[in-house]
Homo-oligomer: A and B are copies of this chain.
Amino acid sequence: MSGANKSWTVAELAELVGGRAAGDGRAVVERVAAIAGAGAGDVVFAEEARRLAEALASGASCVVVPSGTEVGGRTAIEAARPKLAFALIAEVLHPPRKLPAHIHPTAAVAEGARLDEEVYVGAGVVVGEGARVGAGTQLRAHCVVGRNVTVGRGCVLHPHVVLYEGVSVGDRVVLHAGVVVGADGFGYVRDEAGAYHKFPQIGTVVIGDDVELGAGTCVDRAALGVTRVGRGTKIDNLVQVGHNVEIGERVVIAAQTGISGSTVIESDAVIGGQVGMGDHARVERGAVIGSKAGILPGKVVRAGAVMWGVPVRPLDEYKRLNALWGRLPQMRADLEELKRQVRELTARLEGGKE
Contact = CB atoms under 8 A, between A and B. Distances in A.
A324 B216 CA distance: 39
Contacts of A191: 84
Contacts of A94: 200, 202
A268 B342 CA distance: 52
Given A177-B162, A177-B180, A178-B180, A250 B194 contact: yes
A183 interface: yes
B195 A83 contact: no
A324 B335 contact: no
A326 B322 CA distance: 10
- Secondary structure type dominating chain A contacts: loop
Contact of A291 (B183, B189, B294, B346): B294
- In the complex, which of the residues A94, A215, A232 has the most CB atoms of chain B within 10 Å of its own CB atom? A215
A32 B197 contact: no
A321 interface: yes
Chain copies in complex: 3
Interface stretch (A8-16, A113-121, A130-138, A271-279): A271-279
A313 B165 CA distance: 43
A255 B238 contact: no
Interface stretch (A48-56, A218-226, A299-307): A218-226
Given A291-B278, A294-B291, A255 B237 contact: no
B256 A196 contact: no
Given A180-B216, A274-B276, A126 B240 contact: no
B87 A197 contact: yes
A200 B321 CA distance: 39
A280 interface: no
A214 interface: yes
A22 interface: no
B292 A294 contact: yes
B321 A292 contact: no
A276 B291 CA distance: 8
A221 B1 contact: yes
A347 to B, nearest CB: 11
Interface in A183-203: 183-184, 186, 188-191, 194-202
A20 interface: no
A32 B200 CA distance: 8
Contact of A1 (B36, B176, B202, B332): B202
Interface of A: 1-2, 31-34, 36, 81, 83-84, 86-88, 90-91, 94, 97, 104, 106, 108, 122-124, 126, 140-142, 144, 146, 158-160, 162, 164-166, 174, 176-178, 180, 182-184, 186, 188-191, 194-202, 210, 212, 214-216, 218, 220-221, 224-225, 232, 234, 236-238, 240, 242, 250, 252, 254-256, 258, 260, 268, 273-274, 276, 278, 291-292, 294, 310-311, 313, 320-322, 324-329, 331-332, 334-335, 338-339, 341-342, 345-346, 348-349, 352
Closest 7 interchain pairs by CB? A90-B200, A34-B224, A162-B177, A180-B215, A324-B328, A183-B215, A144-B159
